[in-house]
């Protein structure tokens, strides 16, 4: 068991071996047994009596949330778990101790495996271990979302941040406001030119959305696998798709809007007036009701052009009636109003770091500081829980090498080694600041992720390194991680993940001639991070950063 990923806290080897076979009996509390059966589905474990069980599960609340102790002994496998998630993760660890075939969808009849005896005691360093999936820029069908949940579960990742709305598309049904999905969920074409080139388009319609029933299914599927869905409706900016459907919500009366067909930022912004707040709270309620349990709801707050607010006499009068001095104050008030309403439903608001810099957040609002460590530390020092999401090294839309053989990325480069070296809660911070870092997640912005094969390539194996950092709390020993990752890739092969090989892309994964080929050196992540840090210091921090 020396090749597990992410690395457990304690691994002990023992004498002897144990045998486990397809159809083995599992016993214990029903909820915990169900979690073990789900994680080991290829073995088809059957619930039964403890006297005949090869797998025995018990609950031990003293272990804490998501924690477990896995013991493999000659008389069978025993799992003690702090909760259902702990039992699920113990079974995932047991699955990794088996041959790679345990990660396939089916096994030959009569399969039996022998395991060396040992003991694993484990618990996560961070409560939030996430994957951000942008389904707005490029819509991904439900099957890809469910598959990502499975892959997250295999890596002990537990937060799926679904970016459901942006300028380029609205991706969820609304029964109260059906034009959101009827109009806002599709665009007639998509830009194909690179940054700095004359605009060129593919003239291919693109669209799609999830029904509320789809959301309910996704949430139930995720919960069974110890994953919490975090929906994001990004407001008040990034609003082209909303305003294409309901232009009356715009800050500029009489303007016509369309779903954006190019990448980047639009000045389209929702009005902060009461009608907009009522509209959003109705939609938030629809989404929350579909998902069922929504401990976190992301409301964005990033990259807003506030010029239309300043130019509107009606909005300026409303701002004055609230006793607010500037449009920046109104931006902060607007997000606080939404967060207060979400809190009444039992959800904590999550925002990007511009909303923190604007000020006025509820104390329980979680901040995602994408613009770097400095603004992350400021948010933590101010008492906000922080999920570390910096562009470098957690934006996986950047190419993995500064090479024209890579498929086109936003910039270059964020390597596997960069991700593995990430420290979400830096040692240089104070203990109080470090304690405010509740976790980290990697971002899959989808301008250049048009389908599931591209998603696999961008996410893995960098996602393996992110999972290691999120579970263990810090960078792994490089040589040991490289050894364990090399072994882990066999499991991904068995699942059928089309990851980026460590040696570089396969011939069919390479950037092709023309627009799909990466352009090294045009946008470098180091230059981007310097620029973002400078912007995060500005009082006019809501403006687009790119």
Q: How far is CA 202 from the centre of its chain?
A: 29
> In the beta sheet, which residues pair with residue 132?
161, 443
d(CA 239, CA 305): 11
Is residue 181 within a helix (H) or strand (E), and if so which, with residue range?
helix 179-182
Buried-exposed string 75-109: b where 16+ CB fall within 10 A, e elsewhere: ebbbbbbbbbbbbbbbbbbbbbbbebebbeeebee
Which residues have C-beta within 8 Å of that of residue 507, sequence separation ≥ 6?
none
Alpha-helical (H) ranges within 395-435 are 416-420, 431-435
Complete DSSP assignment for 222-250? HHHTT-EEEEEEEESSS-HHHHHH-GGGB
Alpha-helical (H) ranges within 2-44 are 30-39
d(CA 462, CA 399): 11
d(CA 94, CA 118): 11
| For the chain, counts of helices (H) and of strands (E) | 19, 18
Residue 303 annotated as catalytic: yes
d(CA 258, CA 308): 17
Which one from 303, 406, 433, 447 is the annotated catalytic residue?
A: 303
Query: Which whole-number Å values give the CA distances from 418 to 150, 154, 243, 402, 458, in the listed order?
Result: 25, 22, 39, 13, 14
Residues marked as catalytic: 303
């Amino acid at each position: 068991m020396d090749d597990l990923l992410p690395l457990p806290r304690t691994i002990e080897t023992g004498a002897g071996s144990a045998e486990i076979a397809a159809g083995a009996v599992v016993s214990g509390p029903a909820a915990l047994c169900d979690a073990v059966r789900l994680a080991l589905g290829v073995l088809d474990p059957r619930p039964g009596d403890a006297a005949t069980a090869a797998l025995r599960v018990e609950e031990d609340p003293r272990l804490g949330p998501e924690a477990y102790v896995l013991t493999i002994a000659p008389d069978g496998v025993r799992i003690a778990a702090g909760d259902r998630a702990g039992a699920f993760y113990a079974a995932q660890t047991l699955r990794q101790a088996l041959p790679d075939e345990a990660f396939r969808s089916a096994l030959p009849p009569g399969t039996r495996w022998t395991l060396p005896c040992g003991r694993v005691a484990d618990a996560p360093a961070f409560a939030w271990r996430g994957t951000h999936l942008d389904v707005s820029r490029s819509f991904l069908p439900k099957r890809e979302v469910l598959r990502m949940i499975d892959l997250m579960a295999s890596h002990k990742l537990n937060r799926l941040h679904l970016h459901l709305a942006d300028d380029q598309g609205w991706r969820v049904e609304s029964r109260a406001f059906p034009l959101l999905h009827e109009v806002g969920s599709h665009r007639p074409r998509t830009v194909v030119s690179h940054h700095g080139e004359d605009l060129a388009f593919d003239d291919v319609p693109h669209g799609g959305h999830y029904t509320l029933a789809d959301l309910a299914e996704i949430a139930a599927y995720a919960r069974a696998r110890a994953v919490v869905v975090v929906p994001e409706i990004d407001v008040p900016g990034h609003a082209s798709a909303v305003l294409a459907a309901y232009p009356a919500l715009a800050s500029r009366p009489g303007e016509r809007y369309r779903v954006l067909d190019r990448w980047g930022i639009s000045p389209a912004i929702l009005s902060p007036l009461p009608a907009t707040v009522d509209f959003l709270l109705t939609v938030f309620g629809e989404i929350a009701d579909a998902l069922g349990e929504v401990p976190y709801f992301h409301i964005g707050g990033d990259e807003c052009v506030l010029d239309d607010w300043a130019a509107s006499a009606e909005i300026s009068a409303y701002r004055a009636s609230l006793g607010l001095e500037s449009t920046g104050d109104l931006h902060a008030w607007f997000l606080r109003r939404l967060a207060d309403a979400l809190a009444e439903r039992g959800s904590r608001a999550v925002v990007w770091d511009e909303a923190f810099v604007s000020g006025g957040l509820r104390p329980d609002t979680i901040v995602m500081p994408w613009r770097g460590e400095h603004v992350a530390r400021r948010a933590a020092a101010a008492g906000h829980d922080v999920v570390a999401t910096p562009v470098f090294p957690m934006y996986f839309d950047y190419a993995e090498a500064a090479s024209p053989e890579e498929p086109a990325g936003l910039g270059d480069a964020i390597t596997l080694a960069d991700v593995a070296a990430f420290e979400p809660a830096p040692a240089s911070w104070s203990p109080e600041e470090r304690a405010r870092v509740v976790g980290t997640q990697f971002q899959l912005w989808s301008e250049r992720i048009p389908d599931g094969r591209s998603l696999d390539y961008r996410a893995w194996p960098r996602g393996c390194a992110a999972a290691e950092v999120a579970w263990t709390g810090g960078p792994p020993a490089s040589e040991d991680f490289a050894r364990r990752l090399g072994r882990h890739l066999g499991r991904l092969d068995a699942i059928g993940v089309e990851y980026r090989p460590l040696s570089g892309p396969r011939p069919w994964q390479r950037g092709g001639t023309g627009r799909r080929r990466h352009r090294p050196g045009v946008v470098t992540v180091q230059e981007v991070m310097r620029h973002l840090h400078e912007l995060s210091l500005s009082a006019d921090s809501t403006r687009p950063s790119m």
